[in-house]
Amino acid sequence: MNGPYVAVIGAGQATAEQERVAERVGELLAEAGAVLVSGGRGGVMLASCRGAHRRGGLTLGLLPGPDRAEGNPFLTVTVPTGMGELRNGLVARTADGVIAVGGGWGTLSEIGFAMRLGRPLIAVGSWTVEGPAREPSYPTADTAEAAVSWVLRQLG
């Protein structure tokens, strides 16, 4: 695929509003021809895949466990890594850009990885962080549209 790879990261347990945003993000990414990368499970991951799938987009799920069957039903391609939470680093590495929607501690690890790797990242109702060296942080967006638009612009 020539489209950019964009990760949608967030928790496996999400609020209805987070899932609504994630689903819309998935739709917009698919319409833009992006490959949607995620951890492949429930909550924000599932909702974004459902949105992308509805619009004919390609979805890639990097699962923590060794079993393909644990992936959500909207994945085009699954990689059952069997690496547990270490797969969070693979999600960040595989993505050209990242959109964080809500999220728990695992999402925070993905944010750290993605920023460490220099990936453009934008957050919608996700973690707020402040580093000891006052590192420049990532921008935030209020809507799926603004988040997708910003990421795609960064990726040229």
For the bound state, the minimum distance from the C-beta of residue 145 to a copy of itself, rounded and expressed in Å, comes to 19
**Taking CB under 8 A as the rule, does residue 19 contact a copy of itself?**
no
Of 16, 56, 69, 105, the one binding a copy of itself by CB under 8 A: 105
**Taking CB under 8 A as the rule, does residue 57 contact a copy of itself?**
no
**Taking CB under 8 A as the rule, does residue 135 contact a copy of itself?**
yes
**Taking CB under 8 A as the rule, does residue 60 contact a copy of itself?**
yes
The full DSSP string for 10-62 is --SS--HHHHHHHHHHHHHHHHTTPEEEE--SSHHHHHHHHHHHHTT-EEEEE
Cα–Cα separations (whole angstroms), residue 104 to 76, 77, 82, 120, 149: 25, 25, 21, 20, 24
**Taking CB under 8 A as the rule, does residue 32 contact a copy of itself?**
no
**Taking CB under 8 A as the rule, does residue 132 contact a copy of itself?**
yes
d(CA 49, CA 105): 21
Neighbours of 57 (CB within 10 A): 24
Q: With CB under 8 A as the contact rule, which of the stretches 23-31, 89-97, 139-147, 148-156 interacts with a copy of itself? A: 89-97
d(CA 6, CA 16): 22
Binding-residue total with a copy of itself (CB under 8 A) = 51
Question: Interface with a copy of itself by CB under 8 A: which residues?
Answer: 1, 5, 18, 35, 58, 60, 62, 66, 68, 76-86, 88-90, 93-94, 96, 102-113, 115-117, 125-133, 135
